[in-house]
Structure 1
Amino acid sequence: MQHLPPEALALCALGEAGPQDTAHLDNCAECTAEVTALQRVVTAGRTTSVPEGLPRPPSSVWDSIHARLGLGDAVRADPFDADPLAAAPSGEAASGETPSDEAASNEAAQASSPSDKNAETGSAPSPATLQSPPTGSTPVPLEAARKRRERRRLPQVLGAAAAAVVLAAAGTWGVSRILADRSEVIAAVELAPLPAYSETGRAEVDQRSDGGRELVVTASGSDAQGFREVWLIAPDVQRMVSLGTMEGTEGRFTIPANLDLDEYPIVDISDEPFDGNPTHSGDSILRGVLEL
């Protein structure tokens, strides 16, 4: 079975799977497991609220995110080091007013301030009027405001970090999949039908990059009175090794490491009855001799 490429798995994890990808996931447990693992990262990245009771991550976590995303010096400080309650002006904590409410109050106070009265009478305002802030207001420290802005940006930054993790995981998975799937065909044969059968097929021996060997068998049909079994048989047709049962029109079977294909070059697909007898039934559907 041809598995989904890494980019398709990433799109499925992001909820953008196409009809063909969805149909493949319905029948492929391996790809479904990969998508499920990637979805955990996507879900974490899209979560904007932080559950209560979670431990505070060490500053090294933010340092790694900052370095990986190439962020600037403006957000180099750990966002969790900023305490919005401690940085808030005492006037806000005591009155319960938000910065926007306080700004509106200050504007109202300025509207009726002595400076307006001086403008009406034509007299010059006093130095104290120009330099003193409105009564009851407290200047907001610029550093505290900057840290609050950075804290509000934290979910977006973490979302970008999560997306980077998804792409990195998909890329790593894709490279490992490509390396694992690299193989070389070292032998092949067209399978011919035996009397009473009209199917056609092919068998290939793949040498994997890890040194293992696989027999890949395809057949034009999948009908049998019982079940189909794949064999490697010696030229004397007396010695034979079963590789397993075959379902559908394609099967992949691991060849034992100590099995010499020169001694067992015949590929055979048999029709086996459900009688509990592990030996060959003598009823072969397809057969061919590997060209080694």
Structure 2
Amino acid sequence: MQHLPPEALALCALGEAGPEDTAHLDNCTECAAEVSALQRVVTAGRTPPVPEGLPRPPSSVWESIHDRLGLGEAVRADPFGAAPSDEAVQASSLSDKNAETGTAPSPPPVQSSPSGATPVPLDAVRKRRERRRLPQVLGAAAAAVVLAAAGIWSISRILTDRSEVIAAVELAPLPAYSERGRAEVDQRSDGGRELVVTASGSDAQGFREVWLIAPDVQRMVSLGTMEGTEGRFTIPANLDLDEYPIVDISDEPFDGNPTHSGDSILRGVLDL
């Protein structure tokens, strides 16, 4: 089966699949899995991050900054604390002015309020809110940049690592063995080929070795040893699979002999 090209998979993940692509995805589990993985990246990239509130620093932090920079009394109050009242702002301004002119301080004017409460200056409240929102805005922007970069990298990695199965076979156990397995030949996007072998267990007395064997069962090429239930082996570029279509997993003793032991566990012929 011919799989969808990378650009078609990306369009399907973005919700722009054509009728033919949709029909192909209904019948191809591999391409459907690729699109599902890409859709998770697209969803993550389109979801706006939720900014988290930052803790308010203690007043001692601003006091240290104020003293270190030699700031005036007009900005003595902690900007992350309660907003200063009109009287405090006016008193601070008068204090600075009197200090410059050398005159005695005068009492601040008394303003009445219908409710008896001191009105809060709107400019001070607005500036304080802007100062509080700035770290959240910057944090949200940084998170969006990181998320977008991660999404682009993930899509690029998925499309780069995409491979196509060009041959496969179910591996059958030989007498005295009961394992089951499968072998696939993957054509990688970089042009290389890889043999992916799976086996249900390990009945070997020694170690398992994976071979490609010619139909005459005389010529054979070892691809390496297999550990666990899956192994991936690079197929030499100059090896013609038409000449070596048999996949064989053998039980090899620890005797230092590199040739086939003659004891095969699983075997199958690739459908090329």
TM-score bracket for the superposition, by shorter chain length: 0.5 to 0.7
| Counterpart Cα distance in 1 of 2:140 and 2:83 | 33
Residue equivalent to 2:85: 103
Residue equivalent to 2:246: 266
Structure 2 gaps of 5+ residues are 1-32, 56-64, 92-106, 113-120
2:74 touches 2:89 (CA, 8 Å); kept in 1?
A: no
SS in 2 for 1:172: helix
| Counterpart Cα distance in 2 of 1:209 and 1:145 | 59
How many angstroms does 1:184 deviate by? 2.0
* Pairs within 5 Å for 1:1-12: 7=40
Residue equivalent to 1:287: 267
| Counterpart Cα distance in 1 of 2:144 and 2:87 | 45
Residue equivalent to 1:245: 225
SS in 1 for 2:152: helix
2:74 counterpart (85, 88, 92)? 92
* Pairs within 5 Å for 1:1-292: 7=40, 90-93=72-75, 96-98=76-78, 102-103=84-85, 105-106=87-88, 113=109, 149-292=129-272
How many angstroms does 1:179 deviate by? 1.0
Give the total of aligned pairs: 196
| Counterpart Cα distance in 2 of 1:242 and 1:141 | 81
| Counterpart Cα distance in 2 of 1:195 and 1:282 | 13
Structure 1 gaps of 5+ residues are 12-41, 50-82, 117-139
Give, as a single letter, the amino acid of the residue that structure 1 aligns with 2:256: G
How many angstroms does 1:5 deviate by? 5.2
Give, as a single letter, the amino acid of the residue that structure 2 aligns with 1:210: D
SS in 2 for 1:214: strand
| Counterpart Cα distance in 1 of 2:213 and 2:270 | 11
| Counterpart Cα distance in 2 of 1:154 and 1:228 | 62
What's the CA shift string for 1:41-65, capped at 9, x where partnerless?
A: x9xx98969xxxxxxxxxxxxxxxx
Change (3 A) 1:146 1:189: same
SS in 2 for 1:153: helix
Q: Aligned Cα RMSD in Å?
A: 4.4
Give, as a single letter, the amino acid of the residue that structure 1 aligns with 2:263: D
Give, as a single letter, the amino acid of the residue that structure 2 aligns with 1:103: S
1:5 touches 1:174 (CA, 8 Å); kept in 2?
A: no
| Counterpart Cα distance in 2 of 1:115 and 1:46 | 40
Give, as a single letter, the amino acid of the residue that structure 2 aligns with 1:92: A
Residue equivalent to 1:36: none
SS in 1 for 2:145: helix
How many angstroms does 1:104 deviate by? 6.4
How many angstroms does 1:287 deviate by? 0.8
TM-score (ref. length: structure 1): 0.54
How many angstroms does 1:268 deviate by? 0.4
How many angstroms does 1:155 deviate by? 2.1
Give percent identity, aligned residues only: 74
